[in-house]
Structure 1
Amino acid sequence: MGTLGDTRLLLCCAFWGLCLASDYDDYSQNSTNDQAATPEATPCPRAIPGDQATVNNVTYLLIPEATRAQLGSAVTVRLIPCLYSLVFLLGLPANALALWVLATRAERLTSTVFLMNLAAADLLLICVLPFKISYYFLGNHWPFGEALCRLSTALFYGNMYCSVLLLTCVSADRYLAVAHPFSSRAFRTPAFAAGACAAVWLCAAALTLPLALQRQSYPLLGAGLTLCHDVLPRHEDDGFYFRYFVALVSGAFLLPLLLLALSSGAVLRVLLRGGGRYCHAAKLTALVVVALVVFYVPSNVLLLLHYSSPCSKLHGRLYLGYMVSLALSACNSCADPFVYYYVSEDFREKVRRRIFRGSKKTTTSLKTSKETLPRSKHSLV
């Protein structure tokens, strides 16, 4: 009787072990088609999917060794933080100086209000980067706590899409100034621009609120690492976050990109009718659209591809490329000051006066690149 009981116990243990092995093989590289059928039915969560394990009342996540190796690769712990460091070193002084000059030396025009808010959005994005730089240089380890992980994730995405929306406002404002200079004068006021900027900030905050309300950091079992946003529980609100990111990309990127392209195209037509006088400004206007496409399209396309693809076929490979594209999108914060501010000769002159003769007050008002275009071939509309 004891032998029969032991046999039953061994059979139960063997069956339980096979069930566990089958669950792990769902995201293993050696999984079969039948085993992969279940995770293929739902999209991936907004990061690399991991299985939960509770040890001593602490929730850990498990991911395949191949995926863990990719997270610790040279691309993640060397290339990405180096890109963020470059953005921080170049973007911080460039945007801070531009905001300082716009706030203290610029005449309060509609374009000035939009450009000040754009510089502020770029600065807020750059201020988050030291935490991300430390995170990647530490080998994907987040030592700053859950609250700061949520805040930095929400600020990073929020300010990125806030910049896109503000760029669209700048482009639309320049279209009205060039194509309809007289009829648009009634509502192209600093007060109207301030209201539009407030709406953009509120919209960006609302769009990224779900990221701030959900847990973002989890420790990896047996790795001694706490990851922020990169690995999240498998099948946790998968459908909701897929729809959320589709709405985020559509409303905060694709639609603004379309509006920016249309308004910039209309501006280009007006400029090209003026002949060679505005050739330089026309090139810079085209550069605005090209820069937005180059910096933001890869990350948004990979975002949708990753979150709409079956988990069992990805294993974090596409997400690694997505992290690199996010670092590339942050580079736009370095490009904005030189495309929108320092391209103007008048702006550069005001910067020189502000730095070298800061105590000397002048009555000459600073015109932004949009306002000086009709007078200077070096200004951008």
Structure 2
Amino acid sequence: MCWPLLYPLVLGFSISLAEGSQTPSIYDDVESARGGHEGPLGPTAELEESKCPDQLHPRGFPGKFCANDSDTLELPASSQALLLGWVPTRLVPALYGLVVALGLPANGLALWVLATRVPRLPSTILLMNLAAADLLLALVLPPRLAYHLRGQHWPFGEAACRVATAALYGHMYGSVLLLAAVSLDRYLALVHPLRARALRGQRLTTGLCLVAWLSAATLTLPLTLHRQTFRLAGSDHMLCHDALPLAEQISHWRPAFTCLAVLGCFVPLLAMSLCYGATLRALAANGQRYSHALRLTALVLSSAVASFTPSNVLLVLHYSNPSPEAWGNLYGAYVPSLALSTLNSCIDPFIYYYVSREFREKVRAMLCRQPEASSSSQASREAGSRGTAICSSTLL
């Protein structure tokens, strides 16, 4: 539905690619090898080509089907080197492992404290949803982590690959959308405090959370509709989403991922930039009084932009360039950048929750099974609203 609106973003695509006027690629060199000229794949190209005759089919990472075998994709040597190198098999699982090791306890504990020890104000509900999205992201990473540790071999089947891919993108982009919702809440509280009294209620908060979750689910639904597991020709590697047929790249994956990047990342980041930009101006106008909140607001914004922009720019470029060499190189850079994006789920708890002294005290009291206030419970109750404002939004 958003494809006609996003068409100008898809640069360099020509429909003639599917008709026969293809961009010169490594496969053209393979064809020339059949005519007696040795291409860049070396003297083995002719042997491999005899196993997988040329068809007007995929160039996915880039890959192409073997003859009479829709389960196997052939990749050029350069793409195989990127796919099976140390970055996706060592660096990427290390990053995912870090997200699981830090994200699970940090977000799980934050969600527990927010749900049981903090008054249920609208801003608290927003951050509970953010903690839940980041926690679920860490929970869905282990299958992907096992896939990379096994040297790009997916052992769990096609259905699990679709679910794991959709869950990875869904929870990550859900987190981005919720970050934008939190920025809007902070904007109303700090820039329009009088108007915020009427607007910042349960209805607005519930609506923002529902929009974030439903938008993320809708944007990632196409990831469950097409096959994503293919065997790598000449090996026992079963790839999950890392090599896809060209026809589906054009008809299905290109519009799906373009919508996902634009509506799930660029638009929320733009909203965050506008809201936090106005918030920074309001804080700066008060001089040194809000210097800590000023620095923290800038940190929150820069963290989100730095985490999500590189991977989504690479994603759009990857699906906008029909050259298989460009696709392969860009996808090789996209895989680690996607892993880096998931690190934001480990950063969120510390810049939204644990930076607050009141929140840390609540965590300490809960872990030590102590009353919420060790000296004066009445004073703690009187500071409840103020403490919650600080806990539920570290920008105050």
Equivalent residues of 2:261, 2:312 under 8 A apart: yes
The whole-number CA distance in structure 2 between the counterparts of 1:380 and 1:219 is 49
Q: 1:187, CA displacement in angstroms?
A: 2.7
The whole-number CA distance in structure 1 between the counterparts of 2:301 and 2:359 is 22
Equivalent residues of 1:54, 1:60 under 8 A apart: no
The whole-number CA distance in structure 1 between the counterparts of 2:323 and 2:144 is 25
Q: 1:289, CA displacement in angstroms?
A: 1.0
1:308-349 C-alpha deviation (Å, 9 max, x unpaired): 112333262211110010011000000000010011111111
**Structure-2-length-normalised TM-score:** 0.81
1:209-238 C-alpha deviation (Å, 9 max, x unpaired): 000111111111221010100011122251
Q: 1:100, CA displacement in angstroms?
A: 0.3
1:104-151 C-alpha deviation (Å, 9 max, x unpaired): 011111110110000010011111111111111100000011111100
The whole-number CA distance in structure 1 between the counterparts of 2:33 and 2:260 is 32
Q: 1:239, CA displacement in angstroms?
A: 4.2
Q: Which residue of 1 aligns with 2:96?
A: 84
Which amino acid is the alignment partner of residue 62 of structure 2?
P
Q: 1:21, CA displacement in angstroms?
A: 4.4
The whole-number CA distance in structure 2 between the counterparts of 1:315 and 1:241 is 13
Equivalent residues of 2:61, 2:324 under 8 A apart: no
Aligned length: 345
SS in structure 1 at match of 2:196: coil
Mapped pair 1:73 → 2:88: no
Q: 1:23, CA displacement in angstroms?
A: 8.8
Q: Which residue of 2 aligns with 1:119?
A: 131
The whole-number CA distance in structure 2 between the counterparts of 1:260 and 1:19 is 46
Q: 1:89, CA displacement in angstroms?
A: 0.5
Equivalent residues of 2:124, 2:388 under 8 A apart: no
Q: Which residue of 2 aligns with 1:265?
A: 277
SS in structure 2 at match of 1:59: strand
The whole-number CA distance in structure 2 between the counterparts of 1:278 and 1:344 is 15
Equivalent residues of 1:291, 1:332 under 8 A apart: yes
Uncovered stretches (5+) of structure 2, i.e. residues with no partner = 1-26, 43-55
The whole-number CA distance in structure 2 between the counterparts of 1:161 and 1:75 is 24
Q: Which residue of 1 aligns with 2:324?
A: 312
Mapped pair 1:274 → 2:286: yes
Which amino acid is the alignment partner of residue 270 of structure 2?
L
Using a 3 Å threshold, how does the CA distance of structure 1 residues 77 and 63 change in structure 2: closer, same or farther? same
**Structure-1-length-normalised TM-score:** 0.84
Q: Which residue of 2 aligns with 1:22?
A: 31
Q: Work out which structure has the larger RCO, using CA pairs closer than 8 Å and 6 or more positions apart in sequence.
A: 1
Q: Which residue of 2 aligns with 1:222?
A: 234
1:148-173 C-alpha deviation (Å, 9 max, x unpaired): 11001001111111111100000000
Mapped pair 1:51 → 2:69: no
> What is the CA RMSD across the aligned residues, in angstroms?
2.7
Aligned identity (percent) is: 48
Q: Which residue of 2 aligns with 1:233?
A: 245
Q: 1:29, CA displacement in angstroms?
A: 4.8
Q: 1:66, CA displacement in angstroms?
A: 2.2
Equivalent residues of 1:81, 1:136 under 8 A apart: yes
Mapped pair 1:202 → 2:211: no
Which amino acid is the alignment partner of residue 78 of structure 2?
A
The whole-number CA distance in structure 2 between the counterparts of 1:24 and 1:114 is 60
Mapped pair 1:93 → 2:102: no
Q: 1:368, CA displacement in angstroms?
A: 8.1
Which amino acid is the alignment partner of residue 124 of structure 2?
T
The whole-number CA distance in structure 1 between the counterparts of 2:307 and 2:181 is 18
